Amino acid sequence: MTSLPTALITGASRGIGLAIARELEATHNLLLGGRDEQRLKELAATFRSAEPFTADMSDDEDVERAAKQIAGLDVLVHSAGVATRGPIDQMSRQQWRDEFEVNLFAVAQLTTLLLPQLRATNGQVVLINSGFGLMTLPDNSIYCATKWALRAFGDVLREEERPNGIRVSSIHPGKVDTDMQHDIVEYNGGEYQPELYLKPESIAKAVRLAVDATEEATVDMISVRPTRK
């Protein structure tokens, strides 16, 4: 690793997180989050300076083990996330638990574990939230609840950490052309039309704007929506 600042991106194995990693590659040493160590190693080798951050975000012991290996950190991007679809009367308590584990509890735990490192660098936390953290839609109860809760978490964290010099940004994408949307179209039926979706790179540019803000400026929130959908 060189003397550039370090960014940890969860969910960097694919989709939005991978696009963020590609965007930050020129200016940061990267820790790439995901579950498959071998795949992450191969992916890291395609970057200028990157190492795997292998952890199952639904497993608190695994998150703690992985976080302990991080000595210094400037930017923490939370992009790992899952989405369950279906009406409320078909959702089990376990489904609620499972999605909250990844979309919220892991974010809170990993952030808490890394606050000392982030305070030491006047670092930044970037939360990849969703349009569903700003509005709701039927069949998306669990996902919306996790993202509204993530928004509350980010808003409180921002105020608590202001005196410590940490800046917190919440990015709210509309529908993005990733595996997650492919799965949704499969669930709903119908034809996948990529041109109707945001490119992951467009969300990465919003993250870049937040990360590049000078130290006296916090980008609180950015909403990015597809033009045609």
Ligand X SMILES: NC(=O)c1ccc[n+]([C@@H]2O[C@H](COP(=O)([O-])OP(=O)(O)OC[C@H]3O[C@@H](n4cnc5c(N)ncnc54)[C@H](OP(=O)(O)O)[C@@H]3O)[C@@H](O)[C@H]2O)c1
Q: Is 176 in the site for ligand X (CB under 6 A)?
A: yes
How, if at all, do strands 124-128 and 6-9 pair?
unpaired
Q: Which is nearer to ligand X, 58 or 111 (CB)?
A: 58
By the 8 A CB rule, do 39 and 13 touch? yes
Question: Among this protein's residues, is 197 annotated catalytic?
Answer: no
37 vs 164, beta carbon nearer ligand X: 37
Binder of ligand X out of 6, 29, 79, 84 (CB under 6 A): 79
CA distance 52 to 42: 9
- In this chain, which of 111, 130, 140, 170 binds ligand X, going by CB under 6 A? 130
207 binds ligand X (CB under 6 A): no
Residue 81 sits in the site that holds ligand X (CB under 6 A): yes
Q: Which of 53, 56, 57, 58 is nearest to 70 (CA)?
A: 53
Residues 6+ apart with CB under 8 A from 80: 10, 11, 17, 33, 34, 57, 102, 106
The reply to whether 170 sits near ligand X by the rule CB under 6 A is no
SS3 call for 7: strand
Instruction: Return the residues of window 19-58 that contact ligand X according to CB under 6 A.
Output: 34-36, 56-58
Of 6, 84, 141, 178, which lies in the binding site for ligand X, with binding defined by CB under 6 A?
178
Instruction: Locate 53 and state its tokens.
Output: 């951050």
199 near ligand X, judged by CB under 6 A? no
Closest by Cα among 46, 47, 29, 36 to 13: 36
16 lies in the binding site for ligand X (CB under 6 A): yes
Give the binding site for ligand X (CB under 6 A): 11, 13-17, 34-36, 56-58, 79-83, 102, 128, 130, 173, 175-176, 178-181
